[in-house]
């Protein structure tokens, strides 16, 4: 089974949204993929996702309510086959944390970033859902043996 970790800064907006969307979309696609999410920082460890992320996800059929924030740990670099960062800043942080061992992180969207909606409004959280769906469709195609 493929194991994928989605990562953002605090693990309360983007990465838990990516995790929830991945769970649903991989199941719909009939793919056996284990997913999780984490943050590069420990600001919100143990807390649920941002209420606005939960609301945006629920509006589209993605349940984030049971998720809890956690910080990435060294073991994640060997536990996961893919580690996908929401943006370039977190990708740089992941590369430093990796220290040359285990899975090399990459961007979730190869040519773009998932912008942090934390200081934005509802449209920003909707944009994260849209980008999550787009990126997940490409990831599903890749996991089925096609180009990403």
User: Hey, which residues are catalytic here?
Assistant: 8, 14, 116
Q: What is the rounded distance in angstroms from the CA atom of residue 15 to the CA atom of residue 69?
A: 9
Q: What is the rounded distance in angstroms from the CA atom of residue 78 to the CA atom of residue 113?
A: 24
The 10 Å Cβ neighbour count of residue 64 is: 24
The 10 Å Cβ neighbour count of residue 63 is: 12
Report residue 74 as tokens.
Answer: 């060294």
Report residue 89 as tokens.
Answer: 């800043």
């Amino acid at each position: 089974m493929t194991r994928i970790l989605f990562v953002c800064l605090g693990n309360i907006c983007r990465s838990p949204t990516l995790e929830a969307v991945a769970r649903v979309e991989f199941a719909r696609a009939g793919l056996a993929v284990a997913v999780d999410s984490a943050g590069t920082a420990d600001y919100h460890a143990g807390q649920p996702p941002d209420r606005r992320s939960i609301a945006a996800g629920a509006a589209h059929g993605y349940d984030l309510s049971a998720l809890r924030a956690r910080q990435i740990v060294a073991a994640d670099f060997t536990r996961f086959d893919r580690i996908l960062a929401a943006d370039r800043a977190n990708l740089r942080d992941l590369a430093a944390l990796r220290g040359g061992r285990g899975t090399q992180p990459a961007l979730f969207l190869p040519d773009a970033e998932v912008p942090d909606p934390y200081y934005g409004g509802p449209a920003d959280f909707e944009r994260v859902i849209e980008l999550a769906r787009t990126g997940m469709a490409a990831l599903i195609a890749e996991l089925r043996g096609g180009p990403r």
